[in-house]
Structure 1
Amino acid sequence: MCAHVLVAEDDEMQAELIRRSLLSEGHTATVVHDGRAALQAARDLRPDLLVLDLMLPVIDGFGVCRVLRRDDDVPVLMLTARNTEDDLLLGLELGADDYITKPYSPRELMARIRTVLRRSGRGGDGRQEDTVVRTAGLAVDPVRHEVRCDGVPVECTPAEFEILLAMAAEPERVFTRRQLLQRTRGLDRASTERAVDVHIMNLRRKIEDDPRRPARLLTVFGVGYKLSGGRG
């Protein structure tokens, strides 16, 4: 796997450590130190991954993520010293694919980067499945990492894609939040199942005619969620 990673980190020493770690893994890296520069570099360079510190000057990481998600699906790995649940969930709502809290080890960060790249199908190490999964008016293509809803392309973050792919492959199966969480970030660290609720909410906005009254992505109260195959 070789990917181009954009690193947005205002701590120059920390940014240099990340850059060296990426180079040692065979990646290329571009480093910027404020949010405005991060947005410009993301648009100009089209990186495979953005490693984004939340506490950036000029435009903070939340602002960067909010602007990027209007027209860009680059995977985002957030770096944060703020580990409150509300902050982390806000980052996920804005379209971040994963987060890591400071302090962290370079080894952990590189493992997380590999996971996000693998899930997103970027950096030359994507999925190898060759079957489009079709159900409920949805077509989920694991090779091209594409989703269509009633024939219309749907932009999904890597985490949203993993959830939708898992549920589309087994329509009518009820998944617990923990099972869906395992599909997105795994169980190798403390996490919150509320993150799954955020991803489901975002998916409903994209695939439901009325997200407040979902017909595809259904809640099974007291258990979790299921994808109804009735429309496919």
Structure 2
Amino acid sequence: MQKTILIVEDEDILREIVKDYLWNEGYEVLESVDGNEALAVFEEHEVHLIILDIMLPELDGWSVCRRIRKSSNVPIIMLTARADEDDTLLGFELGADDYVTKPYSPAILLARVKRLIDSRYSNTSNVSSEDTLISSGIHVHFPSRTVTIEGEMTSLTHTEFEILTYLMQNQGIIITREQLINKIWGYEFAGDDRTINSHIRNLRHKLGHKANLIVTVIRVGYKFEGEA
């Protein structure tokens, strides 16, 4: 099925360039020039990924991301003209899956789009011989990318899902931050340890009373300590 990508960007020339790259790769493209319009388009269409500029008229990208995350785990790539690490951290804390700083190569952006689309919507993503992964009351169903905790559904972003399943698949093994970066993003990472920490913090919050299953190994990384 053809995937639909929503570009939220008020710079006409940049939006047209990105749209042409996406069209040439076979994606359907929707466009918005401000935050309020983006939310309306998102509500009216099935969207598989959002490319979201931060500095927008009417409603900024952070606010758009926050509102979308209340009801959807659609992959979000945030764009910014600022290289401030605090901006990056805030974007990830709000649930963004990736972050690109302007100016950027449209080809690089396209590569990141493809990676998120392929890993998010491929039924074989993260699946070895089983479709499900169960540990300590956490049940992961890979084909639908759903997670339940003792029977209750919890909504994870693409990145949170990838981190949780990677840790669970390596239960009891220490996973370094570098390993997480290479697994989840697969390219030179623009953030720092605080970015990883932010995703882990969000994930723990959503795991509720199961949060302590993700253990921090100081100055190294994390491990999942559960029982089958």
Query: TM-score scaled to structure 2, two decimals?
Result: 0.93
Q: Which residue number in structure 2 is paired with residue 66 of structure 1?
A: 66
Q: Which residue number in structure 1 is paired with residue 35 of structure 2?
A: 35
| Corresponding letter in the other structure for 2:154 | V
| Corresponding letter in the other structure for 1:221 | I
User: 1:162-186 CA distances to partner (integer Å, 9 max, x unpaired)?
Assistant: 1111111121111111111222212
Q: Percent identity?
A: 37
User: 1:7-64 CA distances to partner (integer Å, 9 max, x unpaired)?
Assistant: 1000011111111111100011011100000011111112001110011110000000
Aligned partner of residue 10 in structure 1, secondary structure: coil
Residues 178, 193 of structure 1: 8 Å contact kept: no
Aligned partner of residue 209 in structure 2, secondary structure: coil
Q: Which residue number in structure 1 is paired with residue 212 of structure 2?
A: 215
Residues 119, 159 of structure 1: 8 Å contact kept: no
| Corresponding letter in the other structure for 1:140 | V
Q: Which residue number in structure 2 is paired with residue 105 of structure 1?
A: 105
Cα distance between partner residues in 2 of 1:151 and 1:72? 20
| Corresponding letter in the other structure for 2:209 | D
Shift of 1:189: 4.1
Cα distance between partner residues in 1 of 2:170 and 2:198? 21
Aligned partner of residue 187 in structure 1, secondary structure: coil
Aligned partner of residue 195 in structure 1, secondary structure: helix
Which segments of 5 or more consecutive residues in structure 2 lack a partner in the other structure?
A: none
Shift of 1:110: 0.7
Q: Which residue number in structure 2 is paired with residue 83 of structure 1?
A: 83
Cα distance between partner residues in 1 of 2:40 and 2:131? 36
Which segments of 5 or more consecutive residues in structure 1 lack a partner in the other structure?
A: none
| Corresponding letter in the other structure for 2:147 | V
Cα distance between partner residues in 2 of 1:173 and 1:157? 23
Shift of 1:127: 2.5
Name the stretch that deviates more: 188-197 or 138-147.
188-197
Shift of 1:104: 1.0
User: 1:62-106 CA distances to partner (integer Å, 9 max, x unpaired)?
Assistant: 000011111111111111111111100100010101011111111
Q: C-alpha root-mean-square deviation of aligned residues, in Å? A: 1.6
Q: How many residues align?
A: 225
| Corresponding letter in the other structure for 1:143 | P
| Corresponding letter in the other structure for 2:192 | T
User: 1:156-214 CA distances to partner (integer Å, 9 max, x unpaired)?
Assistant: 1111111111111121111111111222212334432321111110011111328xxx4
User: 1:102-134 CA distances to partner (integer Å, 9 max, x unpaired)?
Assistant: 11111111101001112222xxx4425342111
Cα distance between partner residues in 1 of 2:190 and 2:91? 17
Name the stretch that deviates more: 220-229 or 104-113.
220-229
Q: Which residue number in structure 2 is paired with residue 21 of structure 1?
A: 21
| Corresponding letter in the other structure for 2:222 | Y
Cα distance between partner residues in 2 of 1:18 and 1:42? 18
Counterpart check, 1:227 vs 2:224: yes
